[in-house]
Amino acid sequence: MRSARRSVLAMAVVLAAASLTAGATAGAAPAALLSSPSDTGASDISNLGGSGWSVLSSANTTATGAQISTPGFSTTGWLPVSNDDAGAPGTEIEALAQNRQCPMDTALQPVNQSLSSPSSVFFSNNIQLCYGFMSKVGSVTTSLFDVPWWWRTDFTATVPSGGVANLIVNGVIGSANVWVNGTEVATSATVTGAYTKFSFNITGLVHSGMPNSLAIEINPNDPTTMFTVDNVDWTQIPPDNNTGVQFPVQLQLDGALSIGNSHVNQSDTLPSSAQLTVKTDVTNNATTAQTATVNATITPPTGTAITLPTQSVSVPASSTVTVTFAEQTISRLHVRWTHRLPAQPPHSRGDSFTGRNPTTQQ
């Protein structure tokens, strides 16, 4: 998730009233690397949990979601967990391993995640001794992980005047109930799927400029009943069945107008050219209609930038309009080869706008 990103396409979007500009990139040219694990590639989106999560099995607490998600809730005795290098806190076993715990054989403590140490959870059958064993794909059968676990974190946010705050829950392994500041915003009937993405408007729940709290209760993973991940028959099934937060949980703060989902549809005429169609979504978060003037440019790795015809679009209140530009043909393709072969031009996308609430996306 942290690979270098190269651009062949740059798109600019300008919206009346907010002076919004956006860009989308794809193809091969100068590299643009995300600066850190906290860099989401979008200035209006931040990964939550950067200051840490508190994680605990529901077997060890009787507190409710409303209580756990209240600012100031005591997490004494909970497991402190850091996001991984992609911005996510990971699985239940990750929470225990970060804290060097081996609950089922404390004589092995403190464990580590080294690739060579006898004290590593990856050494011999240490993972089985520490956390249990699953023999087949299905529901969780290990006693440590056959109940829901809690992930909790605090954050401070300032919602722009007239703007919105959205909680983005990307893939969870298992299913989840989500709480913000004492209020349940989504249940496990909605939040399920290893590669899904959900966005919840929490504008009315956020204490702007003050501490806020998020609590996620994740139910044990079951690949036989959920749209999730499992393990093939020649790999060891993790004792927690991979249950946890696979991708970053994010907060998106926008003004009255915002852009997103900027992308390029590509159709190749091999070996000489590609047909590119640029699209971007313009969202009006306000209660009155807005007019957008949309511009786009396509910049090949080498050569002259192509300016696409300007489009004007009216965006009704509280709605999203997709702007589609006329198909453009780009010659001299830069092919992305398989791993270990030379000339790797990964694709990327980037947006930006300036004005009252500047936003950039990559």
**Tens digit of each residue's pLDDT (9 = 90 or more) over 213-243:** 999 999 999 999 998 998 877 788 999 999 9
Architecture of the 51-247 domain: Sandwich (2.60)
Q: Give CA 181 to chain center in angstroms.
A: 21
Give the whole-angstrom CA distance, residue 310 versus residue 185: 39
Q: Note the maximum CA span of the chain.
A: 69
Q: Write the pLDDT tens digit of every residue in 293-315.
A: 777 777 766 667 778 888 888 89
One-letter amino acid for residue 151 of the chain: W
pLDDT in tens, 87-115: 999 999 999 999 999 999 999 999 999 99
Q: How far apart are CA 298 and CA 330, in angstroms?
A: 9
My answer on whether omega of the bond before 271 falls inside 30° of 0, hence cis, is yes
Question: What pLDDT sits at residue 16?
Answer: 31
pLDDT at 351 over 70: no
pLDDT mean across residues, the chain = 82
Is residue 343 classed exposed, middle or buried when 0-12, 13-18 and 19+ CB atoms within 10 A define those classes? Answer: exposed
In the chain, CATH 2.60.120.260 sits at 51-247
pLDDT at 200: 97
| Interatomic CA distance for residues 236 and 67, integer angstroms | 37
Are 27 and 358 a contacting pair, CB within 8 Å? Answer: no
Local confidence band at 357 (pLDDT 50, 70, 90 cut-offs): low
Q: Which residue has the tokens 């996001």?
A: 83
CATH tag, 5-45+257-361:
2.60.40.10
Q: How far is CA 113 from CA 84, 95, 117, 215, in A?
A: 13, 12, 8, 27
Tens of pLDDT, residue by residue over 251-297, are 999 888 887 888 889 888 777 788 889 898 888 888 899 887 777 77
Q: Which residues contact 187 (CB under 8 A, 6 or more apart)?
A: 177, 178
Instruction: Write the secondary structure of 303-362 as one string of H (helix), E (strand) and C (coil).
Output: CCCEEEEEEEEEECCCEEEEEECCCEEEECCCCCCCCCCCCCCCCCCCEEECCCCCEEEC
- Whether the per-residue pLDDT at 24 is higher than 90: the answer is no
CATH 2.60.40.10 in the chain is located at 5-45+257-361
The owner of tokens 């100031």 is 72
Please check whether residue 284 is in contact with residue 318, taking contact to mean a CB–CB distance below 8 angstroms.
yes
Q: What is the pLDDT of residue 6?
A: 29
Residues 111-161 have pLDDT tens digits of 999 999 999 999 999 999 999 999 999 999 999 999 999 999 999 999 988
339 pLDDT band, cuts 50/70/90, is: low
Q: Is residue 1 scored above 70 in pLDDT?
A: no
Q: pLDDT of 6-16, one tens digit each?
A: 233 333 333 33
DSSP state of 112: B
Dihedral of alpha carbons 128, 130, 136, 137, sign: negative
Count of CA atoms in the C-beta half-sphere (13 A) of 174: 28
What pLDDT score was predicted for residue 230? 87
Question: Contact, 219 vs 152, CB < 8 A?
Answer: no
Contacts of 84 (CB under 8 A, 6+ apart): 37, 90, 94
Q: Is residue 58 scored above 80 in pLDDT?
A: yes
Would you place residue 245 in the very low, low, confident or very high pLDDT band (cuts 50, 70, 90)?
Answer: very high
Instruction: Return the higher-pLDDT residue of 260 and 316.
Output: 316
Q: In the chain, pLDDT over 70 holds for what percent of residues?
A: 80
pLDDT of residue 347: 40
Q: Where are the strands (E) in 132-289, listed by range?
A: 149-156, 164-169, 172-173, 175-180, 183-192, 198-201, 211-219, 244-245, 249-254, 257-269, 273-284
